[in-house]
Structure 1
Amino acid sequence: MILTINPLKIQLLTSLKLYLTFLSFHLDLGIIVLLCSFILQGSGLIQGFDDSFSIRKTRPEPELPTMDDDTVICLKVVVDKTKDRVVFVESDDKFVDILFSFLTMPMGTIVRLTRNRRPTTNIGCMNNLYNSVEILDALYLRTKACKTMLLYPRNGAAAQCKNLKLAIHDGASLRYFLCSRTGCRNSGYKLLSHYPDAICWCGERMYSADLVENKTRRVSSDDKDRGVFVKGPIRLMISDELRIMPPSTAASFSLFSELGIEDMSVVDDRTFSMGKLEALNLLKCLLVSKTPLTEALLDHIPVLSLNDTEDLERVSIGRLKGEASNEDGKMYVKLMVSKSKNRVCYCEASENFVDLLFSFLTVPLGFIVKEMQKGSSTGCINHLYDSIQDLDARNYLVSKETTAMLTSPKLAPGFRYEGQALDIEEYMHQPYYLTRSQNILMPTSDETLIPPGETVYSSALTVMDPKSHHNDNSSSTGFIKGPAMFTVTDDLIISPLSSVTGLSAVRKLKIPFTDIEERVVYVGKEEASCLMVAALISESALTNTFLLKEMEQGS
């Protein structure tokens, strides 16, 4: 560093020397140096003073991106090289947790996450149901929250799924809304909503609030190491058809024998990394393919398993043998049937039937598979479901509650409605209370955070039914506002009733109008369950539900 001294100001240096001598008795040396730099630069005595003495805030150097080990799961894959097919996969409990979590996902979530994934095929009629909700005018819905509930249904096992290694469950975090009026907050009937635009019973719009949690609680190392659904750490084998079993030489030889492999030289061991996108591809494949691991890992064109007529007949007829539900307390629909093709062209139905169809989007996949078990089934999703019972018998699952969560999943809280034809249960809302955080009233689910002596806060908040308007006295209503009539095609495309939509469906099938006849059918629990299964595994849900049943009863 070069100092250039101005000779005309040499007297100032003498004065500065005396001043610094005084400061040395009172200030730190570093501060004195800084003061000198300011004085000298300001007076012009020194030019070119080193910039390292300047006081300014500097941004830290950005950190280089690092690979997050939690974003992928390592899979050991045994491949038949001659057929280019997966024989089995060996992995830890983290991958099996991902597979089992598929059973807890509502169908609306599955459609939304996989409709743009390979293979580019629909999941039965579920994609049409989802698209029908997307384009349906809000005037037909009871509240603004109804469309959100159908397009972004909540998972009843969300608390467990947030601990999965891969964040494939993209459901938004719960939100909380309270009334701003003091009278409502101090009453014995305090309301809480999980959806925006909620209106309190008093007519006031509810405001957003953060949930207060007890941050002092710590998760033990044992809880971190334990699996979500499967006890960890453990390694398991998964066949191409998603049969899950403990690893053993006998199990390996059995799979080789099933595939006709006798020469071990045709077998190759490979390693794959599965991330979120690969997991979503696998989810799509297991719903539409007989060999999902081969298609998902080896990028094969899937061997589709949907629309197998023989399987559909076993599912539908097996579920509906005997007398059909009568009209007592049941909804009815008017079918327009092609006599020559014995096929439903479309039906005309009220809001109650459309509520039933749209509710399929809120139902967990595992519940639909459970309903298949009562008759027969198709595809490999049943192998995954059956593996739960096998692993539970070997004490591989975390708890009996975990087993029930997978084999008999329930709707998320607030998604069931009065008169719902599906025989499915609903999880209860956890209790919420009021507490003070920074002198602001906030909700909490921890009773220990209720202020001592504040008896007005000790009563639990009432969670509002998002499907009901604030001045609607009816409770647990459906999603669709009535009265209303709709046209529903055989593949479950739903639109408000008009003569144009019906004619369009008939024209598409190239059926003469003289071939159409009208039939009235009644829908109870059995028909609703069969219709839900048919919506998952076929693209002719109405025909496979109502006409196959008539064929069986007439034979």
Structure 2
Amino acid sequence: MAASRSLTTLRMKLLVDTRGQRVLFAEASKEVVDFLFSLLALPVGAVAMLLGQEDAAATGGSVGGLYRSVVNLERSFAQPGADMDALLLPAVPPPAAGCVGSLLRLPDASARPRCPSCGGRPPLAESGVQPSRSSVPNGSPADAGGFVRGNMTYMVRDDLAVAPMSTISSISVFNALAVRGLGAVHERTVQIGHTEALKILKASFESKTVLTDVFLRGRAPAPGTLAR
């Protein structure tokens, strides 16, 4: 059971200012940074699906309305051969697909069989395609793919800005945030699983204090659905 969890969760260490009730920064591994960077490669349709149509619209745009339009459109109006359902879950390009697949439980859209007559694919709900179970590597070597090099620690700021970890960068954060006294700074180890990954995705569209919102305030997105 423990081995199974290790494939779908990541860990990072937070430095928390207990007086200000805020996350100063996190010490993160290559795998965590690869996951965060891979969020930039998520297609808009996948984001709308993961956050839920209404919640995606609430992030400040009309993506939810577009998503509902594709869901509700009678397929007789679609251009012959057009894969309308691919708009609901576009494929995530590598190497991002391997970084977000398990944590966000993205179905493998490419696994849906094509219709021999029209070339389209059946809706995800009818295809029997299961969410991707591709593993999230733990303790992988430096050349194991992804976006950044392994065998080192990275600093993730509250606004998800990432940089290599160093003593100088830590001191700079303390000074920039006017931290008064290290006695109020505590370490806290947290896990990033499916729930936390969705919270990070949602908060990244709404907030500049993502780590504080997710791990201290418990902000949660409205539940999305994987298939319709």
In the comparison of the two structures, how many residue pairs are matched? 199
Instruction: Give the secondary structure class of the aligned counterpart of 1:273.
Output: strand
Residue 164 of structure 2: aligned partner:
246
Residue 104 of structure 2: aligned partner:
168
- Give deviations 1:262-299, integer Å, cap 9, x for gaps: 21122111110111221121011101112111111123
User: How far did 1:131 drift?
Assistant: 1.4
Q: How does 1:167-246 map to 2 (within 5 A)?
A: 167-168=103-104, 170-172=106-108, 174-175=110-111, 195-199=113-117, 226-246=144-164
AA in 2 matched with 1:274: I
Pick closer, same or farther for the CA change 1:234–1:92 going to 2, 3 Å: same
Pick closer, same or farther for the CA change 1:259–1:284 going to 2, 3 Å: same
Rg: which structure is higher? 1
User: How far did 1:101 drift?
Assistant: 0.6
Residue 82 of structure 1: aligned partner:
19
Instruction: Give the secondary structure class of the aligned counterpart of 1:254.
Output: helix
- Give deviations 1:157-194, integer Å, cap 9, x for gaps: 2x55226684426141534xxxxxxxxxxxxxxxxxx7
Residue 196 of structure 2: aligned partner:
278
CA distance in 1, matches of 2:182, 2:49: 42
CA distance in 2, matches of 1:147, 1:66: 39
User: How far did 1:261 drift?
Assistant: 1.0
CA distance in 2, matches of 1:166, 1:144: 30
Pick closer, same or farther for the CA change 1:125–1:223 going to 2, 3 Å: same
CA distance in 2, matches of 1:131, 1:200: 23
CA distance in 2, matches of 1:116, 1:274: 23
Structure 2: gaps spanning 5 or more residues: 120-139, 221-228
Structure 1: gaps spanning 5 or more residues: 1-64, 176-193, 202-221, 303-555
CA distance in 2, matches of 1:242, 1:141: 40
Q: 1:107 aligns with which of 37, 44, 47?
A: 44
1:142 matched to 2:79 = yes
TM-score by length of 2: 0.75
AA in 1 matched with 2:117: I
Greater RCO, 1 or 2 (C-alpha within 8 Å, sep 6+):
2
Pick closer, same or farther for the CA change 1:116–1:296 going to 2, 3 Å: farther
- Give deviations 1:419-459, integer Å, cap 9, x for gaps: xxxxxxxxxxxxxxxxxxxxxxxxxxxxxxxxxxxxxxxxx
User: How far did 1:83 drift?
Assistant: 1.9
AA in 1 matched with 2:170: S
CA distance in 1, matches of 2:117, 2:57: 41
AA in 1 matched with 2:212: T
AA in 2 matched with 1:133: V
Q: 1:121 aligns with which of 58, 75, 78?
A: 58
Q: Is the 8 A contact 2:11 2:192 kept in 1?
A: yes
User: How far did 1:300 drift?
Assistant: 4.8
Q: Is the 8 A contact 1:98 1:166 kept in 2?
A: no
